[in-house]
Amino acid sequence: MWRRPFPWFIIAAALLYALYPYFTDDVGLRESLLLAAVYIILASNLNLMIGYAGYVNFGNIVFFGLGGYVCLYLVTALHWHVILSAFVAGIAVSAVALLFGLGILRLRGAFFALATIGVNQAIQQLVVNFEPWGGATGIYLSLDSYGPLGGPMQALWTTYLLIVALTAASLLASYAIKNSKFGLGLLAIGQNEDAAAVLGVPTPLYKALVYSASAFLPAVAGGLYFFKSGIIEPTSAFNLQTSIEAIVMVMLGGSGTILGPALGAFLYEELRGFLLTAQSFSQFQLVIAGALLLLIVQFVPGGLLGWLHQRWPRTRRWLE
Amino acid sequence: MSTLLEVSRVSKRFGGLQAVDRLSLTVNEGEILGLIGPNGAGKSTVFNLINGVYPPDSGKVFFAGEDITGQPPYRVARHGIARAHQIVQPLGGLSVLDNCTVGACFGRQNLALGQAREAARQMANMVGLGDRMDMLASSLTTAGKKRLEMARALSARPKLLLLDEVLAGLNPAETEGMIETVRKIRDSGIAILMIEHIMRAVMSLSDRIVVLNLGARLAEGTPQQVADNPEVITAYLGDSKLINAAELPT
């Protein structure tokens, strides 16, 4: 894997992304880049499901929210270090996803998509009624919680750097999976699941594994993100709208490619930032998102990268 | 010659239709067994029962001495049974080479990715797709897709190959080429169970033939025995007395 330039390119880009706001000490830029990085993590991992295995996970945000809850609970109730908590949250959410996956991945197409929405809504309701996690009001962090990271100001920088690292990890994982036997099996499932099974791909296992794998980094990111925010509550943690926006990002950049979803996430986030500054249109980005999704699915199903690959086949080699 | 596949009294019912009715058949190592019968006789269903697309209602399937009844397709594939579909099922968005690599990776050989790619390349060459390795499978012609089905199945280096009408829809030249390919496969030591409608091909390729009608075995024997069997002729063409009785105005 490391013999090709692509992974090194990702690492270099991530370093630049992480260090530019740090050395210019631009807090505003950092915040906007942080949000974009979170979206890249969400879109990139969602792409493992949509682009590789061909299963549209509408409730993908549940991993992010649940990761946030587990992490903040560990930090506040058990006083664990945030990095350990986020990591454990990732493992816990992956394990839950594996169990869910073995069940709902028996469904296909629209039925699977509906089931994933169901999972998200069910877990949201569960959390609303779960008192140890603060019920409908959620979990707040006190300022002391930032002590282990050197105080609140330093913690903001540390979480930013960690989240950028997770972004790089997401892209590297997409790359590694795509160039592995596991990835080939997933792509086969995405193309024609029945044919893949006849060829010997263990479809139920692979689907559950990729569902679980696509939960890990978003859950860790959720832990760090909500730690940085200092508060988590059910409506923002399990916001279905964000799930759908993540799907738009994947489709916009090019599902099934490695860089596409990241590109889509970054562009969408910038667009959203631009539209949000225009006060008269609250949530106007959703109108654009809906229109975009329709246009993409109808006219450029391959997204930006798919279109580039078709237009200039040479780009296939280096723009994966 | 030892028995490779033994299908023992399997039945399958779909609602009111008895698709396969207590059918038994065996395939020996290194032989080609032809499975023929009129449309709707249940031939493809037999394949589906063997490779686990659906479990039989009753009866057993043994492969290389092991009971594989009701195992899902991906486990049957691991045992060494590969299949080329009647209705081609290419992984359209993947290249020809990747399609074959899937077969090599996950079939009986269970190879690592690098070795699988090598095996896949060989098989693609063998069936004559060597010059189209990097094309998307969806952009192949029908004949090309049929060859891809074969190459993909063979990449697993199976012990038994199920061929479901691989000649259908091919022009005479392509048919000749395909018959040659099937022979080459048998000569490489792979047993073949083939469903085929093109009689010339079945008769020349098969060591033995099983005739299926209404889900049950109607006859079995060498190609010559089967061709001379009056019951077989009736099943295919209708009652010979009726045919004779209906004097066609000329």
Q: Is residue A307 part of a domain?
A: no
Of residues A217 and B85, more confidently modeled:
A217
For the segment B59-79, the average pLDDT, to the nearest whole number, is 94
Whether residue B92 and residue A191 make contact (CB cut-off 8 A), yes or no, is: yes
Total tally of structural domains belonging to chain B: 1
A&B contacts, CB < 8 Å: 80
- A107: which DSSP letter? S
- Residue A282 is predicted with a pLDDT of 66
- Residue A287 is predicted with a pLDDT of 81
Residues of A in contact with B98 (CB under 8 A): 184, 187
> B221 is in which domain, residue-wise?
3-245
Q: Other CB atoms closer than 10 Å to residue A106's CB: what's the count? A: 12
For the segment B224-240, the average pLDDT, to the nearest whole number, is 79
Tokens representing residue A16 in the block: 């630049």
> A183 is in which domain, residue-wise?
5-239
Of B75, B82, B112, nearest to A181 by CB-CB distance is B112
Tell me if A6 sits within 8 A of A175, measured CB to CB.
Answer: yes
Tell me if A223 sits within 8 A of A72, measured CB to CB.
Answer: yes
Q: Is residue A125 part of a domain?
A: yes
Backbone φ and ψ of B208, nearest 5°: -140, 160
- CA dist A170 and A14 (Å) reads 11
- Residue B1 is predicted with a pLDDT of 63
Q: Is residue B42 part of a domain?
A: yes
Q: Is residue B250 part of a domain?
A: no
- CA dist A295 and A293 (Å) reads 6
Q: Is residue A290 part of a domain?
A: no
Q: Indicate which of B87, B101, B102 best probes the interface with A, i.e. most A CBs within 10 Å of its own CB.
A: B102
For the segment B28-55, the average pLDDT, to the nearest whole number, is 91
Handedness of CA A285, A290, A296, A302 (dihedral sign): positive
pTM: 0.90
In the stretch 151-210 of chain B, residues with CB closer than 8 A to chain A read: 152-153, 156
In what helix (H) or strand (E) does residue A7 lie, and over which residues does it extend? helix A5-24
Q: What CATH number should be reported for the domain holding residue B206?
A: 3.40.50.300
SS3 A66: helix
Place of tokens 């906007």: A32
Q: What is the dihedral of CA A182, A183, A185, A191, to 10 degrees?
A: 160
Share of chain B above pLDDT 70, in %: 94
Q: Is residue A49 part of a domain?
A: yes
**Nearest chain A alpha carbon to B79:** A200
Question: How far is the alpha carbon of B187 from chain A, nearest alpha carbon, in Å?
Answer: 23
Whether residue A202 and residue B113 make contact (CB cut-off 8 A), yes or no, is: no
Q: Given CB atoms, is B64 within the 8 Å cutoff of chain A?
A: no
Q: Is residue A276 part of a domain?
A: no
Residues of A in contact with B107 (CB under 8 A): 199-200
Whether residue A185 and residue B106 make contact (CB cut-off 8 A), yes or no, is: yes
Q: Given CB atoms, is B115 within the 8 Å cutoff of chain A?
A: no
- Residue A149 is predicted with a pLDDT of 81
Q: Is residue A257 part of a domain?
A: no
**For chain A, which ranges sit under pLDDT 50?**
none
- CA dist B16 and A129 (Å) reads 50
Place of tokens 């009001």: A137
Q: Given CB atoms, is A192 within the 8 Å cutoff of chain B?
A: yes
Q: Report long-range pairs for A83-89 (Cβ below 8 Å, ≥24 apart).
A: A83/A162, A85/A223, A85/A227, A86/A162, A86/A220, A86/A223, A86/A224, A86/A227, A87/A220, A89/A219, A89/A220, A89/A222, A89/A223
Interval B156-194: pLDDT, tens:
999 999 999 888 888 888 888 888 889 988 998 999 999
Nearest to A272 by CA among A294, A255, A289: A289
Question: How far is the alpha carbon of B185 from chain A, nearest alpha carbon, in Å?
Answer: 18
- Residue A280 is predicted with a pLDDT of 64
Q: At residue B250, does pLDDT exceed 50?
A: no
Tell me if A128 sits within 8 A of A225, measured CB to CB.
Answer: no
Total tally of structural domains belonging to chain A: 1
Whether residue B106 and residue A198 make contact (CB cut-off 8 A), yes or no, is: no
